[in-house]
Structures are given as C-alpha cells and as structure tokens.
Amino acid sequence: MPPFAVSCAVLRSNLKLLSLTLEVNIDHNASTFGTYGTLLRLALRLNSIQTSIMLLKAGVDVTHGDSARATLLGDQDLGKEILRRNPLEATEDDLESSEVTLLGAALLTGNSSLVQEAWKRNPTCYNPAALCAATFRVSVSEMDPRIILKLLGYRNPKSTYPRSRLLETTATGIAACYEQIEILQQLFDHVPMSKDAYLPAKQEFLIDQNRFFA
C-alpha cells in the first residue's frame, strides 16, 4: 500500500482505513502532507484526537508544537504523552512562529501544572502569544496576575519583530476589553505601544479564543 494512503486516512479521519494502512506501512514517518509536515501535525490541525492517539501508538514522529496543539484540543493526556516523547518541547522561543507555544496553550486553558512544566523546561521563556493568553486567562479567571509581570520580565526590550509587536499590543486590547486597569498599567510600563493592533470585542474572544493564538 503506498505511503500516501496513510495521509489520506488521516485527512479523512477514517479510523478503519488508518488502522489498515498503519498495519501495512512500516515507515509511517515517510508519509507527509504538504505544509503540515508530519502525520500527527495534520491530525492535530484537523482536531482529530482519536486519529492522533492511533498515530502515537504507531510510533509516528512528534514535533515542536504538537503538545501545545493537543492541549488546546482539550485532551490533557494526549498533550502529556506527546510532551513525554519530545524532551525539547518548550525549550526554544520562536517569536515569529505562527504556532502556539506550550506555555501559551497552558495559559489559555488555565492548566497551572502545564504552565509550571513549560517554565521548568525554559525558565526564561517569553513569547508574545503567551502574553496574550496570560492576559486573557487572568482577565476571566482567578489566575495569579503576577504571571504577566513574570512574562514581561523576560521580554527583550530591543525586540522589533512585527508579529511580536502586533501580539503585544493585542494583549493590551484584551486587557482593555475586560477593563483590567492594573494589567494595562503593567503592559504600558513594559511594552511600547504601536499604531497597529487588533482589539477584539469581548464576545469575540469568548467565542473563538483559539483563532488568536493558533
């Protein structure tokens, strides 16, 4: 059976076909799907938890960001298993990446233990998407607001990445939407303001959180 059959099974979330193709194909990692890269990344992008679990059991490769995306899907066990297989997860800061980070996913879902794990792996971790996630989570829950100051403490004041600046000012927009004056002051003290920022409505954030961080 050709390797692309595995990709087709993943793309269609066809568990029966996937089971058959995984039994036949020895090198599952030889099958990729365009810009998505690995089979597991494709399954996670399609929000297919069962497909992802089957692929993991078959021994497919895990890559940077897979644990974060599984966490956003709401399957903590899947996220932990991927994390266990990828010791390098959360050890690098890619400020221009469009992928959600482990820290950002942990903050967005309010997973305190995963937040600690992310910082354990990278004690000086800073990512502007994580700042947005922290601002949102502190605004809508009882998460300790000092977490925002901790993040900002590792921010490079010389950072000029366009996407980083946009996300940082978006964090300000989130705080403004929820009327979080203390958080706004912290952001004003650490982040230069920009003319370009997306200021989402509160209802829009509640309905579609992942769109802003994925």
Q: What is the pLDDT of residues 112-156, one digit of tens each?
A: 888 888 888 888 878 888 899 999 999 988 888 899 999 999 988
The reported pLDDT for the residue numbered 129 is 84
Which comes out higher in pLDDT, residue 1 or 155?
155
Q: What is the pTM of this model?
A: 0.76
DSSP 8-class letter at 210? G
Residues 6+ apart with CB under 8 A from 5: 17, 21, 25
Q: What is the mean predicted confidence (pLDDT) over 57-84?
A: 88
Q: CA–CA separation, 158 vs 198, rounded Å? A: 22
Is residue 64 a contact partner of residue 89, using CB atoms and an 8 Å limit? Answer: yes
Q: CA–CA separation, 1 vs 195, rounded Å? A: 54
Q: How confident is the model at residue 54 (pLDDT cuts 50, 70, 90)?
A: very high
Which comes out higher in pLDDT, residue 46 or 159?
46
pLDDT at 205 over 70: no
pLDDT at 181 over 90: yes
pLDDT at 33 over 50: yes
Query: HSE (CB half, 13 Å, CA atoms) of 200?
Result: 20
The reported pLDDT for the residue numbered 143 is 86
pLDDT at 4 over 60: yes
